[in-house]
Amino acid sequence: MTRVKRACWYVVLFAIPYGGVLWAALYNRMEPALFGIPFFYWYQFAWIIVTAVITALAYFNKV
């Protein structure tokens, strides 16, 4: 696989968290709570972790 094709896959991977956080109507609610933390907060925090994993994958594959 060429370097350009590999780079395109990571651009798509980075678009996933962007879309997940951009669509606020999806997570603008209180329930279900996780350990007493409203859904609004833990959903956004989960995307931080997912984005860090995607960034690590892109970095370690030397895109």
Residues of the chain with pLDDT under 50: none
35-41, long-range: CB < 8 A, 24+ apart: none
Q: Please report the pLDDT score of residue 52 as a whole number.
A: 93
SS3 content of the chain, % helix, strand, coil (to 5): 70, 5, 25
Residues 21 and 3: their CA atoms lie apart, in Å, by 28
| Structural domain spans, the chain | 3-60
* Nearest in space to 22 (alpha carbons), one of 7, 53, 39, 43: 43
Q: Please report the pLDDT score of residue 4 as a whole number.
A: 59
Q: Please report the pLDDT score of residue 2 as a whole number.
A: 56
Find where tokens 């370690």 sit: 60
